[in-house]
Amino acid sequence: MHPDLDRLHPYPFEKLAALKAGAVPPAPLDHIALSIGEPKHPTPGFITEEVLSHLHGLSSYPTTRGTTALRRAVADWAGKRFNLAPGLDPDRHVLPVNGTREALFAFAQAVIDATADAVVVMPNPFYQIYEGAALLAGATPHYVPATAESGFVPAFEEVPADVWTGCQLLYICSPGNPTGAVIDLPTLERLIALADEYDFVIAADECYSEIYADESSPPPGLLQACASLGRHGFDRCVVFHSLSKRSNAPGLRSGFVAGDADILERFFRYRTYHGCAMPPHHQAASVKAWRDEEHVRTNRELYRAKFDAVLDILDGVLPATRPEASFYLWPETPVPDPEFARGLFASQNVTVLPGSYLSRDVDGTNPGENRVRMALVAPLDECIEAAHRIRTYTESL
């Protein structure tokens, strides 16, 4: 077996299950899960209908590059959303993927040269796929803290020059998971300059980019920063997007990668061996989804209503602020985060995720300590009920 499999940490939800073991919540209270970032809003009917009407495609093998219609829909959407004039070439700058999770993992396997003492830089806290991808590619992770002091944006300025020298891949996540923080355009431009200086690739996980608080101010993206610098070839930059959060279609497993054509051509070769072509009916439904914005605006309105209600209930009891984007709250806890999470489950039958499970200890500090991640994915009435229970529990401490 691959020796680096033993280097993988238990997944956060494995730790959570162990934490909750033996706790018995009150029987009259229905369970409310705020722990998993799985959208619960209904998948738009037109997406479901498109899947059903294209099941005849099951008789053919799909291609790894996907259909021209899908790549063009993606290029059109991204060009408009991120002001990419002259835009993306659908044949050179876009590849469909089966959700961002598999692509973010596979990308490191294709990019990393493990013979060169490779370093992969990533935020801390982080989506654990980044770490696992780095380890199984034979690289060493370097964790960049994202704390309240930095506005929950990773403190890239604190990364030593020798780390950048060894860096082959930088993972960024904006809007951030679990913090909801957005990396601004000047910071993205500085990261691109660092990539040029030290010769590494930037992989930008932007799967929460379409869930944001201010309708007039959508989060910027990495390719947008390239365009603002006149880098219309998107050198060293690749972005990852998904329909899971944007369109409430996590089961569709549909997303795309876009950016540097030379990198994507090499990644395409990897993927032809990887065997991960998107099913034809998923591609057809994805075309429709990327070409419709009305359902996405409605989705944002639903999340805003939940943030309004939950933050009002928690006000004065649990320090929590509305994030710029994403559907997470990242509040401080009055007791250690695992203790808070277990006690909340045991007394109120509400599950949240300890922040320390999403972070790593570096120099004796874990930036997720004394915080929990709350995913406001449940229906509004459940989120309101959960907030009242969280308030009750917190006031009892």
Each residue's pLDDT tens digit, 200-227:
999 999 999 999 999 999 999 999 999 9
Q: What would the mean pLDDT of 328-340 be, rounded to a whole number?
A: 98
* Domain encompassing residue 250: 45-292
Query: Domain check: are 102 and 198 in the same one?
Result: yes
Model confidence at 57: pLDDT above 90: no
Q: Pairing mode, if any, of strands 32-33 and 94-97? A: unpaired
Q: What would the mean pLDDT of 54-61 be, rounded to a whole number?
A: 90
Query: Domain check: are 109 and 16 in the same one?
Result: no
Q: What would the mean pLDDT of 26-36 be, rounded to a whole number?
A: 96
Q: What would the mean pLDDT of 180-198 be, rounded to a whole number?
A: 98
Residues 6+ apart with CB under 8 A from 60: 280
Query: Domain check: are 288 and 302 in the same one?
Result: no
Cα separation, 89 vs 241, whole angstroms: 17
Note the Cα 111 to chain centre separation in Å.
20
CB-CB contact of 292 with 321 (8 Å): no
Query: Domain check: are 313 and 248 in the same one?
Result: no
Query: Domain check: are 113 and 91 in the same one?
Result: yes
Model confidence at 189: pLDDT above 90: yes
What does the mean pLDDT of the chain come to?
A: 96
Cα separation, 303 vs 326, whole angstroms: 9
Q: Which of 266, 292, 318 is the last residue of a domain?
A: 292
Model confidence at 101: pLDDT above 90: yes
Query: Domain check: are 180 and 50 in the same one?
Result: yes
Model confidence at 2: pLDDT above 90: no
Query: Domain check: are 322 and 376 in the same one?
Result: yes
Cα 196–163–197 angle (5° rounding)?
Answer: 15
pLDDT score recorded for residue 236? 98
CB-CB contact of 43 with 249 (8 Å): yes
Model confidence at 275: pLDDT above 90: no
pLDDT score recorded for residue 255? 97
Element (H, E) at 97: strand 94-97
138-148 confidence digits (pLDDT tens):
999 999 999 99
Model confidence at 159: pLDDT above 90: yes
Q: Which of 240, 267, 292 is the last residue of a domain?
A: 292
Query: Domain check: are 37 and 114 in the same one?
Result: no
What torsion do the CA atoms of 105, 110, 114, 118 make, to the nearest 10 degrees? -70
pLDDT score recorded for residue 166? 97
Query: Domain check: are 241 and 377 in the same one?
Result: no
Q: What is the CATH number of the domain that holds 209?
A: 3.40.640.10
How many domains does the structure of the chain reveal?
2
In terms of DSSP H, where are the helices of the chain?
Answer: 12-20, 45-53, 68-81, 100-111, 128-136, 161-166, 185-198, 222-228, 243-246, 261-274, 280-290, 294-314, 337-348, 380-396
Q: Which of 231, 257, 292 is the last residue of a domain?
A: 292
Distances (CA, A) of 81 to 56, 74, 283, 394: 32, 10, 20, 41
Query: Domain check: are 115 and 149 in the same one?
Result: yes
Query: Domain check: are 245 and 262 in the same one?
Result: yes
pLDDT score recorded for residue 4? 85
Note the Cα 213 to chain centre separation in Å.
17
Query: Domain check: are 200 and 316 in the same one?
Result: no
SS3 category, 54: coil
Q: What is the CATH number of the domain that holds 17?
A: 3.90.1150.10
Cα separation, 287 vs 96, whole angstroms: 11
pTM of the entire structure?
0.97
pLDDT score recorded for residue 148? 95
